[in-house]
Amino acid sequence: MTQNPIRTRIAPSPTGIAHVGTAWMSMFDLALARQTGGQFVVRIEDTDRTRFVEGAEEKIYEAFEWLGIDYDEGVQKGGPYGPYKQSERLNIYREYIDQLLTTGHAYHCFCTPERLTKMREAQKKAGELPRYDRHCRNLTKEEVGQMLNSGTPYVVRLKMPDEGVIGWEDAIRGHVEFDVKNVDDGVLLKSDGFPTYHFAVVVDDHLMKITHVLRGEEWISSTPKHLLLYQAFKWQPPVFAHMPLIRNADKSKLSKRKNDVSILSYREKGYLPEALLNFIALLGWSHPNREEIFSFDEFLKIMSLDRIQKTGPVFDTKKLDWMNGVYIRNLSRQELVKRLEPYLPADFPRERMDILLPLVLERLVTLKDIEELTAFFYRPIEVTAQVLSRKNTPEVAATQLSETISALEKNQSWQASELEVLIRQLQEKHEYKKSQYFMMIRVALTGKEATPPLFDTMSALGKELTLERLKHAQHLLSSAKTV
């Protein structure tokens, strides 16, 4: 049986960063659309002017482009159902607000913010659920007309039924229903003339012919209002699929106040877009073959809503780090060098890339790590006698270095394999403790205790710089033992 083309949408708000949750939802939206020959729409919900951030919309498009998430219709691409920015659709919303007022499914509310605040405080004090008390619901036409003519500020509210149950079949959660007596007469049009999310989303989804709405589970309690609006307009509602909330390891909600949830921040840190996509695809969804590493194209083909779990997935950055490392090492050398270029510092010796990259490749977690992992090859290092003699006395450590320098100065070859033979022979001849001796040399040459293989490092540093650093370390130890 051929399925009708599915139209999905993502509707981010330009209120700051481009959120990883937006990318996560978009992947599933795009997969549903592509699998059925449908369309994926990007709509900008910018009606909350108090939270609007200049330039935030451009960040959303930039993030999508970096990740490789394509879409079919939107502000930048156009399409048959525009405008795709809510602030440019105010006349459309006004038309449908008037329709609801005419049919009696909505009403004007002239309550002041002060009255509403006192009302909610009284309800809380009485142990009641804070909600509008419907004070303006039964105003006569004459009373409403007088208030409007006098210029009294107002909002428009949805007139919820007094009783009954409203439910739907959620594509992820099955049957869900609410008693309407627990649903507030929500605001549809604010006093500034802008629609609320609850009203605009219904009008836009209908007019843009959206067939499937994927959104976070926090919107479940709002769905009855949306369904009541569909009923009021006599429109067919879309299929709803409420995704689980992404959570931290402590099960708290992933939020920009506590976490790094900016898509572009992960680019700055040196994560690969394909690794990030792979990682977030597995948040709440599993591959049919339980595979961990797979391409975005494969995900688009095999994603199915029935494999989405209801419990909130954990945003495990350790797994992301592992996955990013796998993707880095799967790149061709040419492609990896190309990807590394934006993260290379100005003083990085690019002519030595063929020597340095193989030494640190296995330790690269992000592309940005290249600087920290290679800096000691081309920048001065800092070492102290205390660290150099951590497992020995300064006198003994200085003697060890003296013997090592003497042997290396006589050595003609500087190949890693031959350096290893020479150093190991020294260690065995003088019965130096392996862990102490090799670590001392490592620290003397790099200033670090964790580095690429020691003898490869010595070879890459070259004879002159190796001896220079060993002599400096010996001097530090000699000075320390005389104190």
Query: Residues with catalytic annotation?
Result: 256
CA–CA dist 88, 195 (Å, integer): 12
| Helix ranges (DSSP H) in 55-184 | 56-67, 90-103, 113-125, 141-149
Tokens 């509707």 belong to: 11
For residue 144, give every residue at least 6 positions away whose Cβ sits within 8 Å of its Cβ, in sequence order, or none.
107, 108
For residue 115, give every residue at least 6 positions away whose Cβ sits within 8 Å of its Cβ, in sequence order, or none.
135
Residue 73, strand partner residues:
41
272: which 2 tokens? 């690969």
Taking the mean position of all CA atoms in its chain, how far away is CA 431?
Answer: 53
CA–CA dist 70, 186 (Å, integer): 35
For residue 156, give every residue at least 6 positions away whose Cβ sits within 8 Å of its Cβ, in sequence order, or none.
97, 100, 101, 106, 107, 108, 109, 187, 188, 189
CA–CA dist 238, 253 (Å, integer): 27
Nearest one of 374, 375, 445 to 404, comparing CA atoms = 445
CA–CA dist 350, 85 (Å, integer): 46
CA–CA dist 322, 329 (Å, integer): 11
